[in-house]
Structure 1
Amino acid sequence: MRQRLINKTEPQETLLQGAKISGRSAKVADAGISLQSLLLDSKISKEDWIEGLKHHSKTLTNLLLNDQIEEFNQYLGSQFGPEVSEINKNLIDIDYRPILQDLLQTAVLIEHSTIPPYLTALYSIKDGTNALASQIIRSVAVEEMLHLIMVCNVLNAVNIQPSVNKPQNYPTYPMKLPMNVDFYVGLETFSANSIATFIAIESPSNPLVKAPVYEQETEGTALFAKRAAVQENNLWTLENMKGFIMEHVHTIGEYYDVLFFYIVVFQIIAYYKEHGSLPQNFSELNTGGIFTGDPAKQIRPEQYYGSGGKLHSVEALEGVIAVFQEIKGQGEGADDSIFDVDPSQFEEGAELAHYFRFKEIFHEHFYVGGNYKPFMDENGMMPVTTPPTGKSLEVDWNAAYPMKQNPKLSDYAGNNELYAQGLEFNKTYRRLLDAIQSAVEGNQRELEKSIMYMYALKEQAVGLLKQPLDSQTNAGPTFEYTNL
């Protein structure tokens, strides 16, 4: 797990307060609805189940994803008594595999859904322009591919075959991410509008972030189904768990928090079924249980040929923690920082999280080197919405091809040559996903082909982007599924 420094000594009481329990959630905690009751009491009302899920998922996730292992052990001991008075047979007997397959494949879809929009904006930038903006977008796209592969590692760890290259795994644009968001993601040319969408995609779940140190000089598609009615005493169903996400999850980081809690729940139940008691510490919960996958299918750091970020293999719960820390840190920042890891771990080269990198492009300024005292509170925290105020980042918004928004291959049906080019691009993208699919099935050397396909994708995309469709717009890549 990643070494945490900023919050390492924060006591459990502070973390529980940091969970922002209010209203009925506080009442649930005060009323003594323990994690044990939430999981095993078949008589709990749906209202209390939802509020208990809010409270305990945030508390447990804050502890484990911030490496507060000692505090987690105290929390677990306080929640799980030596005897189990109530048993929810529906949860004990549940088949966790189709549930985790659905939820983790949705995570794969989320990561996949960001890659074509980022690549489209990148490819649409005309050669020789917007060098810094291109570098930022390219680095984020590569890291999203890393995230997709690491979620596949989690799937393999719980012995579920990942799927990335089937028609149902393809995002269809424009689309909403499968959670409670009010914006659409689509394929657009590089513009202030597309970058604003990317900022919305990567939005942090916390409203405040630690301000960077001031320096004078610096260099620098398938969507969830609607929640179905369930029996009062059978709350732990896929429909209910997805329904909770659709109602209460607003960011990708929050999705991973709730997903992580669900994984821990099934690991707790697996431990109970094997030992007849509830786990009392992280060591008991870490290994075994649902982690029955073949380690030979894991993609490891030495087998990944991307740049940026760190790839983590998964063979136990600690591997899931490392994966989710990496994904959340790269997307929205780690340890209340704008950086994707705690910058105090490095002498140089600390990188901003995706959200803040995109804000640098949008506002045409860097964060590091800016003076944020006007935005800071007494604890050195500032709103995540604070714009960068460092040195200028030159952006030419006009130096991009005027691509038709969300193009489809059918748009090119009247031009045989253009249609053939669009089809060939989609075949190359399919081959890229096929290589990843083969790799996550245990043929890791297939990842080497992905570099070749990425180069081919750019050349083919630019070939499309240079061709006018009408007096105002050009063609562009469509990223649609196609048979080879």
Structure 2
Amino acid sequence: MTLAGLKYESTAIIELMDVAEADRSEEWLRDSLQQAVMLELSTLPPYLCALWSLTPSTESDFEVRSMLKEIVFDEMSHLGHTCNMLTTVGGTPVLASAAVVPPYPCPLPGGVRPDLTVHLGGLTRDAVGLFAEIERPTDLPTGPAAGSADTFPSIGAFYDAILRAFRRPGLPITGRRQLVRSLEDHGKGNSLFALTSLQDVELAIRIIKEQGEGTSLSPDNPFEGVKGELAHFYTFEQIHRGRKLVKVREDPPCWDFAGDEIPLPTARPMARVPRGGWAADPSTAPTDPEVERLIGDFNQAFSTMLHTLELAWQKDDREDAADQLELAIAGMFDLAVPAGDLMEKPLPNDPTKRYGPEFRFLPPA
């Protein structure tokens, strides 16, 4: 799929899933992996806004902050794994384009979970409830979290289809343009590794699915960063319900949100970003030049980071690629400063609410 054919708000994933398995070519796989890249990119801004909105105060706040931070690192790794999958089959990830950056508030890309609208705002119970729905597993272990059958493509089902396409005989897995970086400090599955075989790809997809969803037998994260870490769906659901998930029966195994209380941490009241950004809504358009500057600085830094990250997967020399990746990672961490500054600025129409980052892509001047 060319850049001209990419559009965030499309039904591309539904259309790809409708293609008969016998007709899923290498081009189908590359198009699917670009959509997977867009999926992984779409979850990072809302999770980051929730994390950055927290204000340190109590030990319980620190616990939730740690949970969110581990998930963010996992999602960054998932984006890396999908980009490595795309380049190993001859594709090139598109990241630095308005065609792939989510225009929040918006659905997930490609028609996945069309019932959900993803928005940017501070940490609230409603926000983590939305995050849990984004990560909802295809198969759940026996217990209260199980829901009705899905009538739309889930993220897990889409990755299952991608894995089946990788398993087709004769598919070349080239190992070209693979980014490698150790992130073991953040979890056993967070390091980026070269995908040079089907077994490597199988592991990468397993990491993405099981860190997000757990398994059909357990809510645990098999690639935990801290002892006892749960998969993303269950972590978010714990915060949403305000109770830890505990095992209440061994045979058959069953879990329930009946453990210790998890108080919702203190968070700066970042309002939801309106479609098109703060300036697009007359009631939230900045009147303070400092707010305008911070919004512009953040969007420019975000766009530069995406461009740097995209370049990393275009480098044939592994050292050059590693240098680009380091610059991009540094750029991601630097975003926290203008984001935090924005979250201290009240909206002109409601002083009880705060501004926050828009995550809008700005093309090069």
Q: TM-score, normalised by structure 1?
A: 0.61
* Separation (CA, whole Å) in 1 of partners of 2:79 and 2:18: 31
Residue of structure 1 in register with 2:358 after alignment? 478
The letter for the 1-side match of 2:129 is A
Q: Which moved more, 1:200-209 or 1:438-447?
A: 438-447
Question: What pairs with 1:103-182 in structure 2 (closer than 5 Å)?
Answer: 103-128=32-57, 130-177=61-108, 178-182=111-115
Contact 2:211 2:223 in 1 (8 A): no
Shift of 1:152: 0.4
Pick the aligned partner of 2:288 from 395, 398, 415: 415
Question: What pairs with 1:13-24 in structure 2 (closer than 5 Å)?
Answer: none
Larger radius of gyration: 1
Residue of structure 1 in register with 2:248 after alignment? 372
Question: What pairs with 1:84-99 in structure 2 (closer than 5 Å)?
Answer: 91=23, 96-99=25-28
What SS is found at the alignment partner of 1:444? helix
Pick the aligned partner of 1:339 from 201, 204, 220: 220
Shift of 1:366: 2.5
Contact 1:249 1:255 in 2 (8 A): no
Q: Does 1:101 align with 2:30?
A: yes
* Separation (CA, whole Å) in 2 of partners of 1:371 and 1:207: 14
Question: What pairs with 1:176-195 in structure 2 (closer than 5 Å)?
Answer: 176-177=107-108, 178-195=111-128
The letter for the 1-side match of 2:41 is H
Change (3 A) 1:253 1:315: same
Contact 2:248 2:254 in 1 (8 A): no
For structure 1, the 5+ residue unaligned runs are 1-49, 58-87, 212-246, 272-288
Q: Does 1:400 align with 2:276?
A: no
Question: What pairs with 1:76-475 in structure 2 (closer than 5 Å)?
Answer: 91=23, 96-128=25-57, 130-177=61-108, 178-209=111-142, 249-264=152-167, 267-268=168-169, 271=170, 289-294=171-176, 297-302=177-182, 307-308=186-187, 309-310=189-190, 311-334=192-215, 336-341=217-222, 349-367=227-245, 370-373=246-249, 378-382=251-255, 386-387=256-257, 389-396=258-265, 399-407=266-274, 408-410=277-279, 411-442=284-315, 443-469=321-347, 470-471=349-350, 472-475=352-355
The letter for the 1-side match of 2:49 is T
Q: Which moved more, 1:255-264 or 1:454-463?
A: 255-264
The letter for the 2-side match of 1:463 is D
Shift of 1:196: 0.3
What SS is found at the alignment partner of 2:239? helix
Shift of 1:101: 2.5
* Separation (CA, whole Å) in 2 of partners of 1:434 and 1:152: 14
Shift of 1:455: 3.3
Contact 1:409 1:419 in 2 (8 A): no
Q: What is the aligned residue count?
A: 324
Contact 2:140 2:216 in 1 (8 A): no
Shift of 1:413: 5.0
The letter for the 2-side match of 1:198 is F
* Separation (CA, whole Å) in 2 of partners of 1:418 and 1:176: 27
For structure 2, the 5+ residue unaligned runs are 1-16, 145-149, 316-320
Q: Please list the CA deviations of residues 181-204 of structure 1 after superposition, one character each: whole Å capped at 9, or x if unmatched.
A: 412111121100000000101101
What SS is found at the alignment partner of 1:168? coil
What SS is found at the alignment partner of 2:259? coil
* Separation (CA, whole Å) in 2 of partners of 1:127 and 1:466: 14
Identical-residue share of aligned pairs (%) = 26
What SS is found at the alignment partner of 1:208? coil
* Separation (CA, whole Å) in 1 of partners of 2:214 and 2:137: 7
Q: Which moved more, 1:125-134 or 1:143-152?
A: 125-134
Change (3 A) 1:379 1:330: same
What SS is found at the alignment partner of 1:169? coil
Q: Please list the CA deviations of residues 73-100 of structure 1 after superposition, one character each: whole Å capped at 9, or x if unmatched.
A: xxxxxxxxxxxxxxx8xx4xx8x34322
Contact 2:175 2:194 in 1 (8 A): no
What SS is found at the alignment partner of 2:94? coil
Change (3 A) 1:351 1:52: same
Change (3 A) 1:207 1:173: same
Off by >6 Å, runs of 4+ in structure 1: 50-53
Q: Please list the CA deviations of residues 91-135 of structure 1 after superposition, one character each: whole Å capped at 9, or x if unmatched.
A: 4xx8x3432232111101111110000001111122335211111
Residue of structure 2 in register with 1:75 after alignment? none
Change (3 A) 1:393 1:97: same
Question: What pairs with 1:41-80 in structure 2 (closer than 5 Å)?
Answer: none
The letter for the 2-side match of 1:337 is S
* Separation (CA, whole Å) in 2 of partners of 1:341 and 1:210: 19
Contact 1:366 1:390 in 2 (8 A): yes
Change (3 A) 1:433 1:128: farther
* Separation (CA, whole Å) in 1 of partners of 2:55 and 2:131: 20
Residue of structure 1 in register with 2:147 after alignment? none
Shift of 1:427: 1.4
The letter for the 2-side match of 1:153 is N
Contact 2:101 2:360 in 1 (8 A): yes
Change (3 A) 1:456 1:300: closer
Q: Please list the CA deviations of residues 360-387 of structure 1 after superposition, one character each: whole Å capped at 9, or x if unmatched.
A: 21222333xx3513xx7x42245xxx42
Residue of structure 2 in register with 1:225 after alignment? none
